[in-house]
Every structure is written in structure tokens, then in C-alpha cells.
Amino acid sequence: MMNRMAFASDDVIISVRDLHVSYEDPLGDPLPVLRGVSFDAHHGETLVIMGGSGCGKSTLLNALIGEIQADSGSIFYRLPALGEIDLASATRERRDDLRRRIGILFQSGALFSSMTVAENIALPLREHSQVDQAVIDIMVAIKLQQVHMLEHRDKYPSQLSGGQKKRAGLARATALDPAVLFYDEPNAGLDPVTSAAIDTLMVDMSKKLGVTSVVVSHEMDSAFRIADKMILLDQGRVLRSGARDDFERIRRADFDALSNDEDRRIHQFLTGEARGPLMDNEGMSEYEKLLVGIALPPRE
């Protein structure tokens, strides 16, 4: 039975507690990636997960959608029509039910190249609903209209720009009216203007659909445009979790005026300064040093 204490309040949709995930290094030893991650995602909010390369962002996302199994800790969902689900102990049927209530926008859009835009969006409706084709056609048109892509419905992915692929991918991610939307680096590879347009679309969609959005991103301008709450991962742990305004205050502060090492680390990441407590004299992060030290065989 699920531990109901995982949900701090009635509007918590996802509750993660003390999550640990590791991989095997070349020698077969455990390589820790997530080390005790805990946070809550609330109904209707946009939660942005940030962090440097190798900090565990992608691993956390894959754990949240059930693609990888955690070593320990828990991931709980509480969604309308499904009730409460413990991802670690859920049956295959319950996991499938959960997957139908979440949408995922992958970094590349992940559209099927042999299908038109409309066919890509219709696919989850055909696979996971019992509605007639005429209803599917209407729903596809609505989803395309929401992302301003209706005129491109008969094009193939190869005929789309990077931004159009992201829009089409978002339309497909929302085809089944999910309760939670996951975004994996939604602005990757986009120019600043297109990136800002995608951010505006994400915010608009969240408000219209009332979904909870979890966004993995290292694009700071985008993160501060869309976030209600932010999480900064460092060395596989949550360095700071809080409202966007809390992070904005640190980002705008004078580095020398910050009173503790944690705030200085956050400031360095948010501003992109090359030198600071996150790097050593050779420009390598502490976690990169840890990973290299664990992954490399010992010298004879």
C-alpha cells in the first residue's frame, strides 16, 4: 500500500522521495547518478529542472516516466481518474494507465518520418482510444490549431523546420489530454526567436489545458520565462528548490555580496560564469571529476 505521507498537500500531483539511481561503470561497479532526490510537483504548475551536464537531469526524467527503475526511493503519482500510483510497485496495467495520462515532448520532436503531421498526432488516439475516425480527424485538427500548425497537417517531418517539429511534437503529446506534460530540452537547437515562441506556446498550453508541466532544460532564458518553480541539480542532488523569484534574486545579485557557498554555486550556474565554486582550476566540475575518477580503471 502506498505511503500517503508522500503527498504534502491535496494539490500535489507528483511526489519524489529520496530517489537514488546508479549505473554500472566499465569495471562493473555502481556509478551514482541521482543521490537522494526529493521534490513535489503541484497541480497546474510548471516545474523546471536545471543542472549542468552529467548532473542527472535526463536520468531523473527517465525515472519519472518509468523508463528506468530506481535503486531506492519512491515516485508517487496522484492523477484524476487514476487515483494514487506508486511507480515502483505498480502493475504493468497501472503503468500503462499512467502512461496514457502523461505526454512527453522529446528533444527532437521524435515524429515518425513515414507519417504526415496529422497521422503522427492521430497515432495515440488510434492506439489508446475507441473513437471513430471522424472524431479522430476533428481532434487532430483541434490539437494542430492549438499549436498553430493546422496548415501543415499533410506535410512530412522532413518538410518541417526545427520549431515546427517541436510544435507538432507538442500537439501529439497532448493528443490524449494528459494530466502531466514532460518536456525534454524543448528549446534545444532553436534560434532565440523560435525558442521564445515555443516558450510562449508552452505557457499558453499549460493555462488552457490546466496540466502540470515538468521541463528539463539548461536554457536559462527559457527557464525563467516559463517556470513557476525551479529545481537545480548538482552532483546528483537537489542543490536548491524554490519559486522562480528566489532563483531570480540570486541570478541578479552581485557575486561578491552572496554570503554562502551554495548561493555562489547557484549564481555561477544561472549566469554561466566560467570560474567559480562549480569548477576547478582546469575548468572541470566536481561531478565531472567524480565521474571520471570512478569510470577510469586504476593505474597500474
Give the residues across from 84 on adjacent strands.
Answer: 78
Work out the number of other CB atoms within 10 angstroms of the CB of residue 26: 10
| Residue 279: DSSP 8-state | B
Is CATH 3.20.20.140 the right assignment for the domain spanning 4-101+178-295? Answer: no
- pLDDT (tens digit, 0 to 9) for every residue of the chain, 300 residues total? 344 456 667 789 999 999 999 998 787 788 899 999 999 999 999 999 999 888 899 999 999 999 999 999 999 999 988 889 999 889 999 998 998 899 999 877 688 999 999 999 999 998 888 788 999 999 999 999 999 999 999 999 999 999 999 999 999 999 999 999 999 999 888 889 999 999 999 998 888 888 999 999 988 999 999 999 999 999 899 999 999 999 999 999 998 888 888 999 999 999 887 767 776 445 455 555 555 554 445 444
Q: Are 211 and 38 in contact (CB under 8 A)?
A: no
Angle between helix axes 133-146 and 117-128 (nearest 10 degrees) is: 130
Residue 300's alpha-carbon distances to 101, 106, 296, 297, in angstroms, are 53, 43, 12, 9
Q: What is the pTM of this model?
A: 0.86
Structural domain boundaries in the chain: 4-101+178-295
